[in-house]
A and B are shown apart, each in its own frame.
Chain A
C-alpha cells in the first residue's frame, strides 16, 4: 500500500503562537484516517495546509506524491474538500452549485450533468435540484457540500466535521457514503470531534494536542494501550440512589458515573472490584442484572492522552476525591 498523504516535520506559526510543532504522519491509500483533537489543537491548520489554503513555515507535505506548496496545482486537482461550514452558494440552486464545482475542476459538461443527477440521487436531494440552497435545511446543505466535493471524483477526500449539526438520518447517510467511497478506493481524511464516530468508521486515528501528534494507531490498539484506564459496567435491579453511595462499598473504584440505568465504575484493579460488587450485592440484596468489563472506551483514551476533562463530565461523575 502506498502513501496518499505524507506529512513531514510540518510546522506553522501565527505570530508567536506555534500552531504546529513539526508534526509527521502518513495516510495510506484507501485508508479512512481520523484526525482528532480538542479545539485549537492544530487540526484545521493541518487540513488548511494540506488543502492548499495555508502555507507552512517549515516541513513538507505531499498528496499522492505532489508537494502541497511546490506542486499545489497537481495536488489540488486530486483532492475534494468538505469544509467545517457547509459553504454552498445560497443564491444558487443545488444543480448550479454542483455544476459550478464541476467547472472549477474541469469536469466536461455532459459528464458533469450525469454526475449531478447521480449525486443528487444518492444524497436524497433529487427533489431539491432547482431549489435555492438558502431554502434547504442544514442537513441538506451539508449533503450538498459533500456532493460538491465529489463531483470531480477525487482520489483523496478531506472531511472537516462532516456530521456536526445535522440530524441522525443525515449522519447515517453521510457515514454510509464515506464507507462506500472508501470501498471504491477513495482515501478519506476525517477531522472530527466525535470520538465515537472516529472509532466506528476510521481505520486509524491520529490524536493531536497543542500542535503535536500524541498518538497514531487503530482505535482498538489505542484502547488496548490505555491499560491504566479500566472500567466495569454494572446494573442492579434496584439502582443505588446516588453514585457516591455505592463508592462506600467499593474501595477499588476510583470513580462512578451513570449511563442510563448502568453504573460505569473506573478502577485500576477490575478483578478486586468485581469481588467487591458481588459482596455489595450480597449485603444489600440488590440483584445484578447486567455485568460487563468493556475496557476503556475510545473517549477514555482520548481524555487520558489529551489530559482534557470536560467540565460537564466532572460535574456528572462522582470521584472518590470529590
Chain B
C-alpha cells in the first residue's frame, strides 16, 4: 500500500473512531441531569425572565432564543461527560487507543454539535408555528446553526479540559465563561443600541455573530455583513478547538 493510501486509511479509521466517541457520548450523556439542567432548563428560563422584562413582540426574540439554545446545549455535552469519564477512568481508554488527541477532541465536539443542532430546532418550530416567525434564507439558517453549534461545542470541549472528576466544577467554570459572553452578545440589548465601547466588547463573544446571522436568516435587521459573521464564528470555533487539543495534551501529560 502506498504512503498516500496508508495515510487515507489511517484518517478514515480515526474519523470512524471519533464518530464512535460522539455516538457513545450522545447515548450516555445527553439525558444526564447537568445537561438537561444547564443546557435546556436554565437557558430557557433565563430567556423568559429577560423577555418578560423587555415586553417586545416575541417573534423578534425568536433568533435570540434559538441562539441561547444553541449556545447552551452545544457547549454542555463534553463538560458533563468528561469529568465523569475521569472519575470512572474510562477517559484512559481514548489515550490507549490508536487515536490522536485532535480526533478525541473532534469526537467530543461532534457530540455537542449534534445535540445542540437538534435542540435548536425546538424553539425555531415554536417560533414558526406559534409566533409567525419566517425564514428568509434557509441556507443561511442551516449554515448558521451548523457552524455555530460546532463553535459552541468546541468551547464546551475546551472548558472540559479542566482536570476534575466533579461535573459541577466544570459547569461552574463553563457558566463563568458563558454568562458574560451571553450578556455582551446583543441578544438582550441590540448591538445598535449599545455604546461604542460595549459594541467593541461584544465582538469578544462568538454568540454576537451567531445571533446576527440568526437575525438575518429569520428576516430581522442585522448588524455585520454575513461573511464577517460566518468568518468570526468559524474563527472562534477553530481557536477553541485548537486550544482544547493543546490543553488536553498538557493536562494529560501533567497528570
- Kindly count the residue-residue contacts between A and B in the assembled complex, taking CB atoms under 8 Å apart: 62
Given contacts A83-B92, A100-B24, A105-B98, 11 further A-B contacts (CB under 8 A): A73-B98, A73-B100, A76-B97, A76-B98, A79-B96, A89-B24, A92-B28, A96-B27, A104-B93, A105-B97, A106-B17
B88 touches A87 (CB 8 A): yes
For B31, the closest partner residue in chain A by CB is A91
B88 touches A52 (CB 8 A): no
| CB within 8 Å for A87 and B98 given contacts A92-B24, A100-B20, A103-B16 | no
Complex-state Cα separation, A263 to B148, whole angstroms: 75
A53 within 8 A of B: yes
Q: Given the complex, which residues of B lie within 8 Å of A83, measured CB to CB? A: 89, 92
| CB within 8 Å for A104 and B28 given contacts A55-B253, A87-B89 | no
Q: Given the complex, which residues of A lie within 8 Å of B98, measured CB to CB? A: 72-74, 76-77, 105
Complex interface residues of chain B between 222 and 255 (CB less than 8 A to chain A): 252-253
**How distant is A147 from chain B, measured CB to nearest CB, in Å?**
14
- CB 8 Å contact bits of B92-125 with A (1 = contact, 0 = none): 1111111110000000000000000000000000
Q: Given the complex, which residues of B lie within 8 Å of A55, measured CB to CB? A: 253
For B95, the closest partner residue in chain A by CB is A53
Complex interface residues of chain A between 84 and 101 (CB less than 8 A to chain B): 85, 87-92, 96, 100-101
For B94, the closest partner residue in chain A by CB is A104
Interface residues of A (CB under 8 A from B): 51-55, 72-74, 76-77, 79, 81, 83, 85, 87-92, 96, 100-101, 103-106
B92 touches A106 (CB 8 A): no
For A76, the closest partner residue in chain B by CB is B98
> Could you list 26 examples of A-B contacts with CB < 8 Å?
A52-B95, A53-B92, A54-B253, A73-B98, A73-B100, A76-B96, A76-B97, A76-B99, A81-B92, A85-B88, A87-B88, A87-B90, A89-B24, A89-B28, A89-B88, A89-B90, A91-B27, A96-B27, A100-B24, A103-B17, A103-B20, A104-B20, A104-B93, A104-B99, A106-B13, A106-B16
Interface residues of B (CB under 8 A from A): 10, 13, 16-17, 20, 24, 27-28, 88-90, 92-100, 252-253
Q: Given the complex, which residues of B lie within 8 Å of A76, measured CB to CB? A: 96-99
Q: Report which residue of B20, B28, B89, B93 has the largest number of chain A beta carbons within 10 angstroms of its beta carbon.
A: B93
Q: Given the complex, which residues of B lie within 8 Å of A101, measured CB to CB? A: 93
Complex-state Cα separation, A49 to B1, whole angstroms: 30
Complex-state Cα separation, A76 to B28, whole angstroms: 26
Complex-state Cα separation, A101 to B253, whole angstroms: 23
Complex-state Cα separation, A57 to B132, whole angstroms: 63
